[in-house]
Amino acid sequence: MSLSREELKGIAIAGRVSSVFSILGSFTIIGAFYFSQHFRSPIHRIIFFNAFYNLFDSVATVISTSGPTAGDTSSLCQFQGFALQMFPVADVFWTFAMALDTYLVVFYHFDTQSLRRLEIKYILIITTLSFTPAFVFLFVHGHEKGPIYGDEAIWCSVSRKWMILRIIFYYAPVWMVIFIVLILYCLIGIELSRIRDEFELSDDDHIALTSGNSASSVTPAAESNSKRKPSLNPESTITSDTTEQNTLSRLPAPREDPTTRQNPNQRRVSLRKYVTMPSLFFLAMLATWIAPTINRIAEFMHHKHGKYSLLLSVSTLGSLRGFWNGVIFITIGMKGWKRRFREEDGS
């Protein structure tokens, strides 16, 4: 099915508007990270790194239909194909890194410094895995099939003639990672539910992430409006320059407001938010992949481009990765900042 000029124009406009929102979202993340200390948690740092990958992704989607119009062998089309092969996949890998960080904190008690030491590994591994196939594809040219990157109606990407490569190096790893992330979040949710039941916590009680030189712990810290119950008392908490070792002891709940006994720099999130925070990124990422996957399945089965409505969804949703990341980054960061401000003001 061939698209009319009006349909292509509509797809281009929708994709470019979404891309502009994503670019603004990425710059918002970068700006907030640089200028505010309230956006420096391990997950915020991962989102910050991913923002640069999202920027290149958004540049490629801004090109939109201009890539196919320039021709399969043009530099513009080849650059767009390279970028759309590398950076959306990298975004999925960064979402996995967020899930892995959360898993390591909950199950293996990684502290902030331990998580930061993983960041360079994340950057190297994610860049290598996403860059290598995208770069190699630039130099593959079949006598009959032509270049790997070519006209895919709404932009240049791996053409239908090379569909098997698209499946092996794009959709297969993406959905495999999505499945792994889903499993990690299920395990995290089960473990946090166990902690909640063990210490009789409500969803509004807080988990304190405590740290030392080599270990940290996830410990419940009751809110002032919670009923009195046994709690874990950390002798040291996450700070920018923590040097003490952690020791945990089970103590009866104090008479005074527990929040006044907490270090203002302690990183605390409610049970609900601790699961919700990274899960929102997972759901946002998932939303951007459903339409493209359905479109590819339809193309693979019917050997033709999808319907206009489906291609419009692909162009719009596939260009919003940076936007959703920016919205969640700021929303979660502001809630955390307001909570810490109330705690400091009340101490």
Residue 76 sits in a domain of what CATH number?
1.20.1070.10
Domain membership flag for residue 125: yes
Closest CA to 340 of 34, 28, 40, 49: 40
What CA–CA distances, in Å, run from 50 to 46, 94, 171, 244, 309? 6, 6, 20, 32, 29
Domain membership flag for residue 244: no
What confidence tens digit (pLDDT) does each residue in 23-41 have? 999 999 999 999 988 788 8
Per-residue pLDDT, 264:
41
Residues 201 and 222 sit within 8 Å (Cβ to Cβ): yes
DSSP string, 153-166: SSSEEE-GGGHHHH
Domain membership flag for residue 48: yes
Q: What domain range is 65 assigned to?
A: 5-203+270-345
Domain membership flag for residue 257: no
Give the 3-state secondary structure of residue 335: helix
Residues 39 and 32 sit within 8 Å (Cβ to Cβ): yes
Per-residue pLDDT at 21 exceeds 90: yes
**Domain count of the fold of the chain:** 1
Per-residue pLDDT, 81:
97
Burial environment of residue 108 by CB neighbours within 10 A (0 to 12, 13 to 18, 19 or more): exposed
Domain membership flag for residue 234: no
Mean pLDDT, range 127-151, rounded to an integer: 95
Domain membership flag for residue 246: no
Domain membership flag for residue 239: no
Q: Say whether pTM exceeds 0.85.
A: no
What confidence tens digit (pLDDT) does each residue in 194-238 have? 877 776 555 555 555 444 433 344 455 444 344 444 343 333 333
What confidence tens digit (pLDDT) does each residue in 246-263 have? 333 333 444 444 434 444
Domain membership flag for residue 151: yes
What confidence tens digit (pLDDT) does each residue in 39-92 have? 888 888 999 999 999 999 999 999 999 999 999 999 999 999 999 999 999 999
Per-residue pLDDT at 294 exceeds 90: no
DSSP string, 188-220: HHHHHHHHHHHTT--TTSEEEEEE-SS-EEEEE
Per-residue pLDDT, 239:
35
